[in-house]
Structure 1
Amino acid sequence: MVTSMLAAINRALAHEDFGKLLLRLAVGGLMLFHGVHKLIDGVDGIVGMLTAQGLPGFIAYGVLVGEVVAPCLIILGIVTRPAALVLAFTMVVAWLMVGTGKTWLLDKTGAWAIENLMYFFIGALAVACLGAGRYAFGKGAWR
């Protein structure tokens, strides 16, 4: 009985393309909030962090590619794999800029201090590995 019930549940939930869509909406959609914030408030804080480390401030505008353009492409399912790799790279840069000192720490609520960075990094890698699936605007290689 348990085996047949589990088989029925597995059949009912075997919608891999819908799962890919949900993953794209979660990873791309939640990251887009970060990007919209930077569109509204600007990237001055990031410029300051970069110049403090001796890097040119204009690099800060790359965050808009990683946090606005890439998430939009991921959500739409257009050049999904490359866009997901751009998002993953953005998270590596974010970790290098603000997270390395927090890598082995917990925040005040007991969560891993770089939990969000890791969620987006691993989620983006999962999207890059899985692709867009059937529910995407991109066709063929554009997925």
Structure 2
Amino acid sequence: MKVHRDDIGKLILRLACGILLFHGIFKVFTDIQHVKNLVIAAGLPAVVAYGSIIGEFIAPIFLIIGYKARLAALVMVFNMIMTIVVAHRAVAFKLNDFGGWMIETNMLFLLTALAVFFFGAGRYSVSGGKGPWQ
């Protein structure tokens, strides 16, 4: 069996980005009111808050299993842009007390999702890496 290092790298990237799922689980199984409050404060309708469940729970599942991975990654990129604009705009260009960028986690997920969008799912996925959104 031939080892496909690029595809293993794509799998690792998908899994690393897909751990955002754990952040979204909180919103699904507890309360999304905090997100609704942020969305309303930003001048958007409260229903927009439910998009965070799609971007932080559903899309990461698709990403982890490698189904419509490029589309899921694009949804996650949009979700991370929205989190920065809606919830973290005041600290987007600030450092924390330890010298870390205040939005480094958001940017980590945004950039890894963007990488998955360009690389695709790879052969170690439900789709086998075949199809335009894989």
User: TM-score, normalization: structure 1?
Assistant: 0.85
Equivalent residue letter for 2:15: L
Paired with 2:93 and 2:51, the residues of 1 have a C-alpha distance of 27
Q: Is contact 2:73–2:113 with CA below 8 Å preserved after alignment?
A: yes
For residue 14 of structure 2, the aligned residue among 18, 24, 32 is 24
Of all paired residues, the percent bearing the same amino acid is 39
| More helix by percentage | 1
2:122 aligned partner: 133
Paired with 2:126 and 2:51, the residues of 1 have a C-alpha distance of 25
Q: CA RMSD in A?
A: 1.5
State the Cα distance separating 1:14 from its structure 2 match: 6.9
Q: Is contact 2:42–2:86 with CA below 8 Å preserved after alignment?
A: no
Equivalent residue letter for 1:40: F
| Higher alpha-carbon deviation: 41-50 or 69-78 | 41-50
User: TM-score, normalization: structure 2?
Assistant: 0.91
Paired with 2:55 and 2:22, the residues of 1 have a C-alpha distance of 12
2:5 aligned partner: 15
Q: Deviations over 1:34-62 (max 9, x none)?
A: 11111122210011112223321111111
For residue 99 of structure 2, the aligned residue among 103, 110, 114 is 110
1:95 aligned partner: 84
Give the 4+ runs in structure 1 shifted more than 3 A: none
Alignment gaps of 5+ in structure 2:
none
Report the 3-state secondary structure (helix = DSSP H, G, I; strand = E; otherwise coil) of the residue aligned with 2:88. helix
2:41 aligned partner: 52
Larger of the two Rg values belongs to structure: 1
State how many pairs are aligned: 130
State the Cα distance separating 1:112 from its structure 2 match: 0.6
